[in-house]
Structures are given as structure tokens and as C-alpha cells.
Structure 1
Amino acid sequence: MIAAEDTRTIKKLLQKYDILKRNVVSYHDFSKKGRTNYITGKLEAGENIALVSESGTPAIQDPGFELINECIERNITVTVVPGPNAAISALVLSGLPANNFLFIGFLPKAGAKRKNKLSELATFPYTLIFYESPNRVESLTGELIERFGDRRASLVREITKIYEEVIRGNLSDILARIKEKKVKGEVVLVVEGYKKELIRSFSEEDIRKELIRLLKQGISKKSALKITLSRYDIDKQRLYNIATKI
């Protein structure tokens, strides 16, 4: 038996490779509650069942966590066949440190939970991996600039597909690119972890150029000041004095 997030897709795959007919059942976010007991019952009766997701790895932002846990609770043997994972692929393509990282997935959509999570991550020292929809990635990138400063980042979309694209630079560069051309497809945003080091050797002209660069990218003056403070070892009042001359 095969338990699939989308039975239509798996049936096409089975047909393409002329695999013998299998009993295929759905296992997705709307069916998993009832299906979990059904599948574990079949497993306890001695059947072998494969769990597949639509375009990723089960339990990694895809259905599977509850079923796997239930199998473990019932002492049912579970094994894994390594498969596609957008987070790891995007991390490799990003060019950012990959020896230590934190997979975030989708943030809470709004409210205190989202704000608290972003505050918690602001000083996390390792590379961060976010999933986001193409319609909300501009908003997320802006929020990250506000909370984290203008860190190095990489936006990866449509991994392994015809229109695969990797945008590297600072968060402000990525935001400017998104504003210029709407992003489509599945999106992974990889962001550099927190660094305590500040730029200590700079001139007033360096600061002025940095502020102008950020403002030209459509970032608000308030956000541009925050970003500059996060990167340079400069007194807040001195920074404001420079900003008033722009």
C-alpha cells in the first residue's frame, strides 16, 4: 500500500515507470486524523506501507509527523528513503555557512507569536532557513530587515524545476529584486545568523552612502537607520545628524 499526500500525482508516477498496481490511499492535512489509525492498523496486521509527500520529505513541512509518531508509540518499525528537501538544497545553494543552521519553516502568520519568534531569532548565531509563499515573501523580507538588520541572505525558488532561480546578496538587495519583479513558485529564504562584529573603521561619507543605498532600495528612513546601527559602531545621535543632511 502507498499513502500519498496527492494520490493523483503518485498514480501518474507509478504509471510512468510501469510499476505494478498498488493500493493507493490519501494521507494529507485533511485526512491524516482518520487515516493514521487506519494505516497503523494495517501495519500491525503485517502490511508494508510507503508514505510519500507531494514534493518534499514527509514530516518536514509535509504530512507525516503524526503517523510516524504513532508508529513509534506502537513499536512499529519505521525506516526512511532519503528524498528531496527544499531546505537543505537551498542551504547548499545559498553560499552561507552550512555547518550549523536552524530550520524555521513557516513563521506564525501574525500577532504576538510571530513577533516573539522573530525577536527570539534576531540574536541566533546560526544560518536560518525560512519557507514562505511567493505572495508573502516581500513582507517577510521587510520584517527581517526591521528585526535583524541588513544581513547576507539568499532567496531560492523552484528548486530542481525549469525556472530554478537563486538570488544572493543582502536582505535589502533581495527586497529590491522582489519589488522589481514578482516572485513566483515555491520559495526558501536563507538568512545569515547573528554576528556581534560591527564595522569600526568608517567615515561620515561611508555612512551617508550606506543610508542613500538603502533609501534607493525603497527602505524607509527609520528602517535604514536601524540597519546602519546594526552594522556600524556609531553613536545613535551622530548617525541621526548625518541622516538629516541627506
Structure 2
Amino acid sequence: MNFGKLYLVPTPIGNLKDITLRALEVLENVDLVAAEDTRQSLKLLNHFNIKKTLISYHKHNEQGKSMDLIEKIKDGKSIALISDAGTPGISDPGSIIVSKCIEENIDFEVLPGATAITTALVYSGLDTSKFIFRGFLPRENKDKRIIIEELKDRKETLVFYESPHRIRETLEFLRSNLGNRRISICRELTKLHEQILRFSLDEAISYYSEKDIKGEFVLVVEGKGEEEILQEERAKWEALSIEEHIKNYISEGLSKKEAIKKVAKDRKLSKSEIYKYSIDL
């Protein structure tokens, strides 16, 4: 049986010139296009004079529609999956059908292309060697708190998406949970009114307090700094006596010798000086 194939095709996040030649070739040659918003995608296809049958495929129907598309592929159809902007599967529908293709041993191909994550990350000037992308934060505070608890002590640069009507609330939330870290706010990337701002979170909150906010945002927040980590570690033992400090490390599973070494390093004292306080422990 000759199956068709699924193509996950990135589309421009703003500037239509950012579509790749390969993406255009795939869109011209597939049998049909599965689109997050058929009206939006029709504008894109019309711009490049591509005439294709469009099928709606979005987050509210992707579970059921994925199997429909799989059956079409089994019937020999080739299908391109696109979202409104960017790469399918990244904060957009796509991951479910990829999983089902793997389960069903269906051939699929992921094309490289536009994504706001890496564009914003490089614009930010923050550490690009390691980062964590968490997409849109949940709407409910209890769900947001779960995520921020996972992230607040991470050294990696943090990347979020945000919509204009939630930007103020999200900046306040980040400030109250992460402290006054540096942030790069990228708005309307690749579009006519693209704007890149680099602030502290306090400055960002002040800037947006009186602005009429429009556009889509990518927030790039610096990870937890080494100095902040050292200060927090210091705060844990500054209130302890040297004996208590040694006992604390022993309770964590260190030997007395290892505990003495760690305490000496923390307090910038000699091991022989710390040893005096450990004799009766």
C-alpha cells in the first residue's frame, strides 16, 4: 500500500518574505492543507497564488481530526499542516498528529522555518546557550504558581509568549515571583511595527502601566544569577552557629570531614578553625 505523507510547514510570523522556498514547494504540491484558521491561511496561500483545498485543524478539534488526516494519508493523500504563524506543534496544534503518525508508522516531515522563540532569544542579548520555553502561562493563578515554582531557581533564560490583554498582569506576576530580573520584551516580531525593549521587570511594569497595548509578545527573562544563588545559600547559614552549620550538612548525608570542608568554604575560614567546633559532634 502506498501511503501519502504529512508535512509540518512553518509559516511567517509576520513578514511574508520569511517563508522558505521549500515551504512554498510543499504547499504547491500537496493534495490538501490542514490549517489552524482557514481564513487566515487562505490569505497566505492567495498571496503566493497557491490554490488548495483547506481543512480546519485547530486545538478544539485536533484530537478527532488527527485520525481523519491519518486515514487520508493512508489513502495516499499528501497533507501540509500549517498554523496561523510559526511552526506547527510549538504552542500551536501539531504535536498530537505527530504522535499518531509515529504510532501508525506514517511518514512525516518537519520543515525548518519561522519561530518567534529563537528570534526573540537572540534579540534579547541574554544568555542563549541554555533556555527554557514555556509558551503561554496558564490563566489560573494556581496553575501559574505551579509553573513558576518549577522555574524560579533555574539558571536558564526563560521564554514566554503573551497576548496584549494579559501583558501587565504577567509582568506583575513575574516580578513578584522572580524579583527584579532583566527582561527583553519583543512585540510584533518581523512585522512593520516590530519593537524590542530591554528593561528590568520594574521598568517594564512602569512602561506598560499607561500604554495602549497591541500586538503579540515574546518575553525573554534572565535566569537566576550566580550572585543571587550565593546570597540565598549564605542566608541559609548566616543565622546558624558554626556547630549548627556543620550539623546541617551532616544531616544532608555528608561525612563530618566533608561537612567541615563545606562549612570552611562557605564561611571563608580554614578547615582547622572549623574543626575546633566539630570535636563534640
Give yes or no for TM over 0.5: yes
Corresponding residue number in structure 1 for 2:38: 7
Structure 2: state its 5+ residue gaps.
1-31, 236-281
Corresponding residue number in structure 2 for 1:39: 69
Structure-to-structure mapping, 1:116-155, within 5 angstroms: 116-155=146-185
Corresponding residue number in structure 1 for 2:260: none
Q: Which has the higher contact order (CA 8 A, sep 6+)?
A: 2
Tell me the matched-pair count. Answer: 204
Q: Does 1:113 align with 2:152?
A: no
Q: Distance in 2 between matches of 1:72 and 1:199?
A: 42
Q: Which portions of structure 1, spanning 4 or more consecutive aligned residues, are displaced by more than 3 angstroms?
A: none
Q: Distance in 1 between matches of 2:45 and 2:192?
A: 22
Q: Distance in 2 between matches of 1:25 and 1:140?
A: 34
Q: Distance in 1 between matches of 2:97 and 2:228?
A: 47
Q: Does 1:75 align with 2:105?
A: yes
In our comparison, the structure showing a higher alpha carbon Rg is 2
Q: Note the C-alpha offset of 1:169.
A: 1.8
Q: Distance in 1 between matches of 2:194 and 2:57?
A: 28
Q: Distance in 1 between matches of 2:136 and 2:202?
A: 21
Corresponding residue number in structure 1 for 2:215: 185
Structure-to-structure mapping, 1:32-111, within 5 angstroms: 32-111=62-141
Structure-to-structure mapping, 1:147-226, within 5 angstroms: 147-198=177-228
SS of equivalent residue, structure 1 residue 109:
coil
Q: Deviations over 1:130-166 (max 9, x none)?
A: 1112111111111211111111111111111111111
Q: Deviations over 1:100-155 (max 9, x none)?
A: 00001112222432212112211011000011121111111112111111111111
Q: Distance in 1 between matches of 2:198 and 2:113?
A: 25
CA RMSD of superposed structures (Å): 2.2
1:83 maps to amino acid: G
SS of equivalent residue, structure 1 residue 79:
strand
Q: Distance in 2 between matches of 1:165 and 1:46?
A: 45
Selected match of 1:18 from 49, 63, 73: 49
Q: Distance in 1 between matches of 2:37 and 2:229?
A: 51
Corresponding residue number in structure 1 for 2:266: none
Q: Distance in 2 between matches of 1:185 and 1:132?
A: 9
1:26 maps to amino acid: S
Distance 1:11 1:198, change over 3 A: closer
Q: Distance in 2 between matches of 1:186 and 1:98?
A: 22
Q: Note the C-alpha offset of 1:198.
A: 4.7
Structure 1: state its 5+ residue gaps.
201-228, 234-246
Give the % identical residues. 42
State the TM-score, normalizing by the size of structure 2.
0.68
Q: Distance in 2 between matches of 1:183 and 1:16?
A: 29
